[in-house]
Amino acid sequence: MAKANWTWLVFMAGDNNLEGAGADDLKEMKQVGSSDHLNLLVQFDTERKGTTRYRVVKNRLTRLQHMPGVDTGDPKVLTDFINWGTQHFPADHCLVDIWNHGGGWENLPPDFDYASLRSPKPAVARNLKRLKRSIFRTTIDTIYARPKDSRSAAPRAIAIDTGSHDYLDNQELKAAVAKALPSGNKLDILGCDACLMNMLEIAYEMRGTADYMVGSEDSEPGAGWPYADVLASLAAQPTMSPADLSKAIVKSYGDWYAKNGDPVHDLSATQSAFDMGRIGPVVDAVDKLSLALIAEMAEVKGAIGLAKAGVQKFDYPEYVDLGDFANRLMRSLPGSCQSKTAAQGLVQKLGDGGSSDFVTANVTWGAADVRASGVSIYFPDANGYSPDYDDLDMSGDVAWAKMLKAFFAAL
């Protein structure tokens, strides 16, 4: 097969109450489908009919492979899909689209009720429309080893498989993608058609695996990505660069919800794109701000609390908008302190959607998310801090976790 411009791989984890939504999105994809320039490939894991790999073409699905149901929470399954897609359908560029429930960086608790994410009856799952998708098991043993009262209590994760009682945590997602790529190579775009994934912590975890990342700070509305619109843009310009495609996804998302969003049931939506090659200066700025706040904690703890109280929050209120938090700090910190200068530096590094910024595109729809700047960060209440946070790369390399603990101790 001749080399295409793009291979788009959709890892559709539908062994849960999203199976019907997966069928809906396949219908959207069929409106455009594959071409000589685009390979659109889907691995759809379901409750009822196992797992099928499709090449989506205009108005139909070409079934390429059928398997018994796979465990989408097993990193090997994602690695195998990426290997299969890129080897059999080579292209100049590759986008991997993780499609499922999502919940930011946090792990699911070991006693999570997977049945809560199953359809009432698998036979009718195909008829269920997509609900808001807020909510990755090899990490379960590690969590069980911790004292019960120190475990995360709330449901978080991505690629949740209710049949296997498994999910991908962020370290597993990173390992799965990295193992699928030749040494030193990266995906052109990592897409998360899932909730709450465009966090600085997740981007930092995935920094070595993709050049761009596209996803949402908040819970996605029921319709998720508008695949027909996004794919139509790519079909019209198949030579689109990764930078331009990531921006086009964000623009199509914003345009679709501006026209079709349901203000009663959906309330709001966000979508943003990251230039992962520019994450270093951002985390350096977060580190400098964290160290300055720690050094001046007695003087600035009130300003921190005030900024946290009013900051743009999302479906999980411990996930707060980083840009809005930094701007609020700038307004409330004393003018003479180093923390104010550090907050200004962070705002400058985040940028406002320019081509040289970390956040290269950002859209919001609905009044609830109007102050979302494109990237969120973890800032829980003092009694809600998860010990799992200490396991992330960012917690080891950046002083943000230390700042949170210093702030909690100062209260």
Q: CA 331 to CA 310: how far, in whole Å?
A: 12
| Sequence-ordered list of residues with C-beta below 8 angstroms from that of 392, at least 6 positions apart, any chain | 105, 170, 201, 204, 205
Number of domains in the chain: 2
Answer whether residue 57 shows pLDDT above 70: yes
Q: Are residues 28 and 107 in the same domain?
A: yes
Give the per-residue pLDDT at 152.
38
Q: Which residue has the higher pLDDT, 291 or 262?
A: 291
Q: Are strands 4-14 and 38-46 parallel, antiparallel or unpaired?
A: parallel
Answer whether residue 159 shows pLDDT above 70: no
Answer whether residue 180 shows pLDDT above 90: yes
Tokens of 254: 């914003």
Answer whether residue 144 shows pLDDT above 90: no
Give the per-residue pLDDT at 224.
87
Q: CA 202 to CA 197: how far, in whole Å?
A: 7
Model pTM score: 0.86
Report the share of the chain in percent with pLDDT over 70: 79
Q: Are residues 176 and 236 in the same domain?
A: yes
Answer whether residue 306 shows pLDDT above 90: yes
Q: Are residues 155 and 67 in the same domain?
A: yes
Category of 400 on φ-ψ map: left (φ > 0), alpha (ψ -120 to 50) or beta: alpha
Confidence of residue 149 (pLDDT cuts 50, 70, 90): very low
Report the share of the chain in percent with pLDDT over 90: 62
Question: Residue 316 is part of which domain span?
Answer: 280-358+376-410
Q: CA 96 to CA 107: how far, in whole Å?
A: 22
Residue 106 lies in a domain: yes
Q: Which residue has the higher pLDDT, 172 or 272?
A: 272
Q: For the segment 132-141, what is each residue's pLDDT rounded down to a tens digit?
A: 433 333 333 3
- Cα 142 to Cα 105, 145, 174, 393: the distances in Å are 16, 5, 18, 17
What's the burial of 251, exposed, middle or buried (CB within 10 Å: 0-12/13-18/19+)? middle
Q: Are residues 120 and 205 in the same domain?
A: yes
Last residue of a domain, one of 244, 279, 314: 279
* Residue 104 contacts residue 197 (beta carbons within 8 Å): yes
Ramachandran angles phi, psi of 49, nearest 5°? -125, 30
Confidence of residue 354 (pLDDT cuts 50, 70, 90): low
Q: CA 35 to CA 204: how far, in whole Å?
A: 34
Q: Are residues 18 and 159 in the same domain?
A: yes
Q: Are residues 143 and 169 in the same domain?
A: yes
Residue 179 lies in a domain: yes
Give the per-residue pLDDT at 14.
61
Residue 289 lies in a domain: yes
Q: Are residues 251 and 146 in the same domain?
A: yes
Q: CA 139 to CA 137: how far, in whole Å?
A: 5
Give the per-residue pLDDT at 195.
83
**Per-residue b or e along 132-154, where b marks 16 or more CB atoms closer than 10 Å to that residue's CB:** bbbbbbbbbeebeeeeeeebbee
Confidence of residue 50 (pLDDT cuts 50, 70, 90): confident
Q: CA 7 to CA 181: how far, in whole Å?
A: 14
Give the per-residue pLDDT at 102.
56
Confidence of residue 127 (pLDDT cuts 50, 70, 90): very low
Our CA angle for 369, 370, 376, nearest 5°, is 55
Q: For the segment 27-38, what is each residue's pLDDT rounded down to a tens digit?
A: 999 999 999 999
Residue 388 lies in a domain: yes
Q: Are strands 319-321 and 376-378 parallel, antiparallel or unpaired?
A: antiparallel
Range in 42-51, 76-85, 126-135, 226-235 the model is least confident about: 126-135
Max mean pLDDT among 94-103, 220-229, 389-398 falls in: 389-398
Give every strand in the sheet of 269-275, ordered side by side: 60-67, 51-57, 38-46, 4-14, 91-99, 187-193, 210-215, 269-275, 359-365
Confidence of residue 123 (pLDDT cuts 50, 70, 90): very low
Give the per-residue pLDDT at 13.
77
Last residue of a domain, one of 223, 244, 279: 279
Last residue of a domain, one of 241, 263, 279: 279
CATH code of the domain in which 192 resides:
3.40.50.11970
* Residue 345 contacts residue 406 (beta carbons within 8 Å): no
Q: Are residues 272 and 131 in the same domain?
A: yes
Give the per-residue pLDDT at 117.
42
